Amino acid sequence: MEGPAGLLKVQRETEVNRCTNDIRAIMSLNGVTRSALSKVKARLLELAARQELFSANIFPVKDGDGTSSLYLLSEDEKHEYALYVVSERQGNMSPPHDHTTWAVIVGVEGEELNKFYDRLDDGKDEGQAEISESHTETVGVGTGVTLMPEDIHSIHCLVDQPTLNFHFYGRSIEHLPQRKAFNMVDGTYKYFPANPHIYK
């Protein structure tokens, strides 16, 4: 690819690789702790500030995807250190879910509400779970959230403008078969498959 678009693509790949290498160093040195994830969030926010490389125009919600599209920017040969761009429109939301790996989400454009939940049961009954909402945080430009493997959250895009976020996972979501989606009303959960349409 030649011309300005080709140059931006090369710059984007270079910056993604630099960021991923920095995050790998942070996690290798510190392990999976909330403090380490805060450092990862700070590094991802530096990448998110490069809005000439990442925007809803470059990563749109594609026709046929409904209210969101998911792009994989980087992962290693073990399917670890996976960076995604999530592009979404007003109305996009997820059920409460965990990740079974650490995760960091930061805003690039627009705004997304994240709700967080506490699990109240002991987890001994397969398919059963009681959760309650604990707090909310907004992911927008210059902000982000961190999640330990057991943390539960849901996402809600409520604004009438294109929204773009980075999602960075310790392991790619295509290789997380034990993720759980929770039903607060029924007090149940089911395993939460990855989006089948991920652009690479």
Determine phi and psi for 141, rounding to 5 degrees: -60, 125
Predicted confidence (pLDDT) per residue in 6-21, tens digit: 899 999 999 999 999 9
Cα 173 to Cα 8, 40, 71, 115, 193: the distances in Å are 27, 18, 12, 20, 8
Cα 32 to Cα 26, 44, 109, 148, 200: the distances in Å are 10, 16, 27, 8, 27
Give the residue from 194, 146, 119 showing the smallest Cα distance to 27. Answer: 146
pLDDT value, residue 2:
64
Question: For the whole model, what pTM was predicted?
Answer: 0.96
Per-residue burial over 128-156, b = 16 or more CB atoms within 10 Å of its CB, e = otherwise = ebebeeeeeeebbeebbbbbeeebbbbbb
Predicted confidence (pLDDT) per residue in 33-92, tens digit: 999 999 999 999 999 999 999 999 999 999 999 999 999 999 999 999 999 999 999 999
Beta bridge partners of 116: 135, 153
Q: What proportion of the chain, given as a percentage, has pLDDT over 70?
A: 99
